[in-house]
Amino acid sequence: MFNKILLCYDGTVEGRRALRQGADVAMAMKSHAYLLAICNNMLSTAVPEGITPELVRCEEETAQALLSEGVAWLREHGVPAEGQLVFGNPMVHIPEVARRIGADLIVMGHRYRGRLAKWWSEDEESTLLHKVSCSILVAMDIPAS
């Protein structure tokens, strides 16, 4: 049913949960996983005088380590995997990568946002559901009973 699974991973607790649950699905379905490590570009908010070659290299090294960690974890758990590192807006990159790789399923974590945070988000019609044509699995934290 799911041959290619896009796992969206940002290193957060929610992203790691999605990675684990997505790996479980990939193992059960004997699917190929494509890990998309998405990082905010800290340099976009830096003042030009503050951007140094060392800062750029440090950010790229940290992001690459994040991706390598995720791909290695998947492979160690028997999931054929490859990955890509991107910087920027997940709402731009996730649909583009999903289309390009022919994803059947996107797995991502959920982070609760309060009402105030929602005010600053994009238009409600601009959700991932409106931008992709495949299934989406949202990895949730299961509350203790």
> Which domains, from first to last, does the chain contain?
4-139 (3.40.50.620)
Least confident of 38-42, 60-64, 101-105: 38-42
121 — phi, psi (to 5°)?
-85, 175
Question: What 3-state DSSP class applies to 47?
Answer: coil
Split at pLDDT 50, 70, 90, the class of 74 is confident
**Model pLDDT for residues 77-106, shown as the tens digit of each residue:** 888 999 998 888 888 899 999 999 999 999
Q: pTM of this prediction?
A: 0.76
91 contacts: CB under 8 Å, gap ≥ 6: 122, 126, 128, 131
Rank 51-55, 57-61, 81-85, 106-110 by mean pLDDT and report only the highest: 81-85
Q: Of 44, 43, 39, which is closest to residue 83 (Cα–Cα)? A: 39
Question: What 3-state DSSP class applies to 87?
Answer: strand
Q: Are 134 and 103 in contact (CB under 8 A)?
A: yes
